[in-house]
Amino acid sequence: MSEISLRIANIDDLQILLAFEQGVVEAEKPLDPFLGKGHLNYYNIPELIAAEHIHFLVAVSKNEVVACGYLRIDNSKIYQKNPQYGYIGFMFVKPSFRGQKISNLILDSLKKWAKEKALKELRLDVYNNNIGAIKVYERFGFAKSLVNMRMDI
């Protein structure tokens, strides 16, 4: 395992983050028949980098960006006990660096930032058929909650 460090993403990371975004899209296409065909964009990456309510991290190995993830502060619904929560998104690790617990390093750092912001809850979305990701998140302490259901009509 190589030495991994974390830092805040910056605009100089844009090209690799755009490639990571397509890695996420390609991984999720087989999991979601509702995704469109061709090139898709999920994120406004420059906005993720610049927004003050988003903590966007990259993991680096020997000056190479190898993973990323962000935490965004969102408002909860009025009937929920915590007025705000941290939403975790854009978790991606380059395939050649998987299995090194890099996502745990990112998640730990995002959780620490959330606590510094006095947040009491973290949330994320994961496809129910993405068993590998679910195992990682459950080992980290996440529990399944709401099931989102869809159908074509």
* Region 120-145 average pLDDT: 94
- In 3-state terms, what secondary structure has residue 16? helix
Q: In this structure, are residues 124 and 88 in contact, taking their beta carbons and an 8 Å threshold?
A: yes
- The residue ranges of every structural domain in the chain are 5-125
Q: Identify the DSSP state of 11.
A: G
Confidence of residue 147 (pLDDT cuts 50, 70, 90): confident
Helical segments of the chain, H only: 14-28, 45-50, 102-116, 131-140
Confidence at 149, pLDDT banded by 50, 70, 90: confident
Residue range 89-106, pLDDT digits in tens = 999 999 999 999 999 999
Lowest-confidence segment of 31-35, 44-48, 57-61 by average pLDDT:
31-35
Q: For 5-125, which CATH superfamily applies? A: Gcn5-related N-acetyltransferase (GNAT) (3.40.630.30)
Asked whether the beta carbons of 101 and 59 are under 8 A apart, the reply is no
